Amino acid sequence: MTADPPLVLDIDGTLTRPEGWGIDPRIFDPLLEWDAPIVIATGKAFPYPVALCHFAGIPELVVAENGGVVYTGDNVFFTADREAAEAVAREYEAAGYGLGWGPEDTVNRWRETEIAVQYDQPVEPLRAIAADYGLEVVDTGYAYHVKDAAPNKGEGVRTIAEHTNVDLGEAVAVGDSENDVSTFEVVDRSFAVANADAAARAAADEVLADAHADGTLALFERIQSA
């Protein structure tokens, strides 16, 4: 049996229950027992992947907000700010639309570099307004993220590799959406779970037979039995 490779894992759609919501509790023991570094690379706000690492009992190696925030375990790197994204959100709301998260908006409250808009809100006017500010809108399958076009998950993963012992030449990535494509491009092997969108499926080395955490867990077993 060979040593476990480093992992780069998305959260939503990849570590979630088969129903598509909530972390699947079956992932915790395999993550804790994995004997190589694990990078959590997500579109979620910075505190969410940090908390996931904390509760999983693994070192905090995090790419958050689609590459806008990178944490190497020692240093935090911010590759964008959210001023322009906030301006887009204000104009979008002034046009009669909403972010969709309610008055307290815990989805964006701790977000450092971008703004997320609920998936059932109209995206075309959001894209048009974002373009006026030189920003892009990324569809993660769970929300629309208004962000600087330069940062991405893949560049964030590279930053972690430059500051840690993560060997991207051996790393395996698992994801489900277009924001995972850049991650797939910087690792040795990439896998899209069965529920992945067209962009992720096209970019991955392999599309797994199972969806959500079922696919990810089956891949873990396959790697460890090889």
CA distances (Å), 11 to each of 1, 49, 86, in order? 27, 8, 24
Q: Are 155 and 179 in contact (CB under 8 A)?
A: no
Name the residue among 155, 150, 160, 10 with its Cα closest to residue 71. Answer: 160
Model pTM?
A: 0.95
Q: Which pLDDT tens digit goes with each residue over 123-146?
A: 999 999 999 999 999 999 889 999
Q: Which pLDDT tens digit goes with each residue over 10-32?
A: 999 999 998 878 999 999 999 99
Q: Which pLDDT tens digit goes with each residue over 91-100?
A: 999 999 999 9
The predicted pLDDT at position 21 comes to: 82
The predicted pLDDT at position 2 comes to: 58
Name the residue among 58, 81, 60 with its Cα closest to residue 71. Answer: 60
Percent of the chain with pLDDT over 90: 95
Name the residue among 152, 192, 163, 7 with its Cα closest to residue 71. Answer: 163
Instruction: For 138-180, give the DSSP string.
Output: EE-SSEEEEEESS--HHHHHHHHHHHSS--TTT-EEEE-SGGG
Residue from 4, 10, 148, 214 carrying the catalytic annotation: 10
Mean pLDDT of 41-48: 97
Work out whether strand 143-148 and strand 115-118 pair parallel, antiparallel, or are unpaired: antiparallel
Based on the residue annotation, tell me whether 10 is a catalytic residue of this protein. yes
- Alpha-carbon Rg for the chain, nearest whole angstrom, is 17
